Chains A and B, each alone.
Chain A
């Protein structure tokens, strides 16, 4: 239940702070999103630049990159996901504790990019795990990653704690583990997780 904004401001002038549990809870969550420390290709260099003094991702509460998936809230898939690496990325995502979010950074991570018609690159990590924010670019500028981060914060802020659209850790029914693809004789098996990524139909 949201508090009327005008009333909130009026009360604030009187020295009374009014909030809801949901607002407070989400404020805490969005202000300390800790990304996981792993990079896959050149996009990772931009990700590192984003965390350094000039762009300073720490302003958004993401100052610590955690080297363990158990302590991370956000997976930034920064770079080309090869078919050899894809099972490990999905496994790392499975090992992260809820609530967890994914930013797919750069052309390769969202679609395969320039390697889309090749044989060894996964055509988008969203084939296997749910992605919250996609950023195009090759590689995206640090500003684009900050934009993605702010978009994610807005998403976290807007998540109700009950009912439809609540975060997965408050939803007992939600799917927690995503199947790790097997490396088959010719390709990954299965080639995508149909529950996460419905095969698009081309309309001609």
Chain B
């Protein structure tokens, strides 16, 4: 199989303006991947499938990744004019503006996104996997990505699953409905900020996170219902 860099070059030669980006994997597996631009994704996918050398005829896996909004604190060096008292030429104290370098901590919020990952193999050429990624603009309102189901039929159910659990809306998908949860369900359970329903009785000896949730629940119940008889089941 061609290396990922070679595949990237082949895509760029075949699909003008493809917007392919190389994503290196520094770990021992060195499984590098390609991030493709959503607007040219279908053209790139068709090329990967139909090219005689590459012939990626089998889409094995589609999954999602949630990148939440990240708060980044950076230290920035800023030049500032500061008034300082210095010794004047004639022995007097004189206020003089001096330029000074100050370190400031600036916080900015890097908006997150949803990513979809495709794993491609070639059954005919016996090579693979090639990892493709696509990113949405953000996690809230611009979550559209083109569906690759017209290119590889096996993406149909898996894209439905990504739609269900992550909330990525696949344009061009023939039957985009929830797969695992019911139709009226509003949340996307695999997102990092999902809060699961508080519907289990906690362990008798909770600790850490579970203890915190158990206490929160107890406080809430006491506020709404008043103290109950301990040890007796509520009717």
Q: Contact partner of B184 among A116, A118, A184, A191, CB < 8 A?
A: A184
Q: Within the assembled complex, what's the spacing in Å between the Cα atoms of A194 and B218?
A: 18
| Chain B positions within 8 Å of A8 at CB level | none
Q: Interface size on B (CB < 8 Å)?
A: 28
- Bound CA span A185–B199, Å: 14
CA distance A99 to B231 in the complex (A): 33
Task: Tell me if B235 is interfacial: C-beta within 8 Å of chain A.
Answer: yes
CA–CA, A117 and B180, complex, Å: 17
Dominant secondary structure of chain B at its interface with chain A: loop
Cα separation A170 to B235 with both chains bound (whole Å): 25
In which size bucket is the chain A interface?
20 to 34
0/1 per residue, B167-187, Cβ < 8 Å to A?
000000000000011101111
Is A186 a contact of B202 with CB atoms below 8 Å? no
Q: Does the CB pair A84–B180 fall under 8 Å? A: yes
CB neighbours of A184 from chain B (8 A): 184
B residues sitting closer than 8 Å to A (CB atoms) are 180-182, 184-187, 189, 194, 196-197, 199-206, 214, 218, 228, 230-235
Contacts of A199 in B (CB 8 A): 201, 233-234
User: Main SS of the interface on chain A?
Assistant: loop
Least Cβ–Cβ distance between A156 and chain B, in angstroms: 26
How far apart are the CA atoms of A84 and B181 in the complex, in Å?
6
Q: Which 9 A-B pairs have the closest CB atoms?
A: A187-B197, A198-B233, A185-B186, A183-B182, A191-B199, A119-B196, A119-B189, A200-B201, A123-B200
Contact of A201 among B182, B206, B233 (CB under 8 A): B233
Would you call A84 and B182 a contact (CB within 8 A)?
Answer: yes
CB nearest neighbor in B for A184: B184
Contact of B197 among A183, A186, A198, A201 (CB under 8 A): A186
Contacts of A187 in B (CB 8 A): 197, 199
